[in-house]
Chains A and B, each alone.
Chain A
Amino acid sequence: MKHVAILQFPGTNCDLDTKYAFEKLGCSTTIVWHKESSIPNNIDLVVVPGGFSYGDYLRSGAIAQFSPIMKAVVEYANAGGKVLGICNGFQILTEIGLLPGALKRNIGLHFISKFQTLKVINNSNTFLQKCNKDEVLNVPIAHADGNYYIDELAFKELEENEQILLRYSNEKGDPIVVNGSVTSIAGVCNKSKNVFGLMPHPERALETILGSSDGIKMLEGLIA
């Protein structure tokens, strides 16, 4: 059985959904309060879930990066441990520098909350290994600061290293503008492909009757 640690900051609100998702997939889970200074032993995956840590004050994720637990997360990631950041978790991971780039205010300034089709760009990584390249997934998004920015030089590196995971697309897989992200990027990973971040919420796409179960094959990759 795989063990998943789920971080909880003041303002996190997707911790229990994430817990439900990984337990549904047969994992054991531990919620870890941000004031903790270490990650429990024998953890196979650390998830930084979505929400509004510290009320999004200053910038989304800016203050959470200095919580005691984040030092342990950086050590865990640098030792090769798998880390997934969803939505606000993605913002925190870019702020702390585990992932490249930054997330700005959406181009239309609105908070966008809806199902969104996404194209799988690279699946040569543990996260999306169960998805097919160019496959179109349907997963909810819910964010105001999802406009991914990266400078040209770093973007080239992302592309060459196959670090772009997902792009916002139409149902045919053609990229579309949703929030202004550089080349419609919805998710990226680090160079060594053990730290993953995305704005969409796979933990909210587990039941066909509720709109989509595409989140299952995404999360399954991380615990395979």
Chain B
Amino acid sequence: MKAIVNIFLKEGVLDPQGKAIHHALDAMNFEGVEDVRMGKQIVLQLTSTNKEEALKEVEKMAEEILANTVIEDYTIELI
């Protein structure tokens, strides 16, 4: 099983990298982009076959190290 962890700065926390990308898109005349947020994706190859257990374990990983919950939110997708 694979776990895909997506990590983004929380809503309301200014994202300087997203802002720079937005500026670049504007400068290249791409229209219709309202906001850009940049995050990171961490893909974990798991040995577990139990989805419920895996989710619990990956949540723990995200809380303890993968994300800094003072400034970041995360989502977990299991496939």
Neighbouring A residues of B68 by C-beta, 8 Å: 59, 62, 95, 102
Label chain B's interface by main secondary structure.
mixed
Q: Number of residues in B with C-beta < 8 Å to the partner? A: 11
Pairwise interchain contact B16-A108, C-beta atoms closer than 8 A? yes
Neighbouring A residues of B70 by C-beta, 8 Å: 94, 101-102, 149-151
Pairwise interchain contact B65-A180, C-beta atoms closer than 8 A? no
Label chain A's interface by main secondary structure.
loop
What 1/0 flags go to B20-42 for Cβ under 8 Å of A? 10000000000000000000000
Residue of A nearest to B42 (CB): A58
Pairwise interchain contact B71-A104, C-beta atoms closer than 8 A? yes
Q: In chain A, residues 108-137, which have Cβ atoms closer than 8 Å to a Cβ of chain B?
A: 108-109
CA distance A136 to B71 in the complex (A): 30
Pairwise interchain contact B17-A105, C-beta atoms closer than 8 A? yes
Name the 9 nearest CB pairs between A and B, nearest first.
A102-B70, A102-B71, A107-B16, A105-B16, A149-B71, A102-B68, A109-B20, A109-B16, A59-B68
Binding site for A on B (CB under 8 A): 9, 13-14, 16-17, 20, 65-66, 68, 70-71
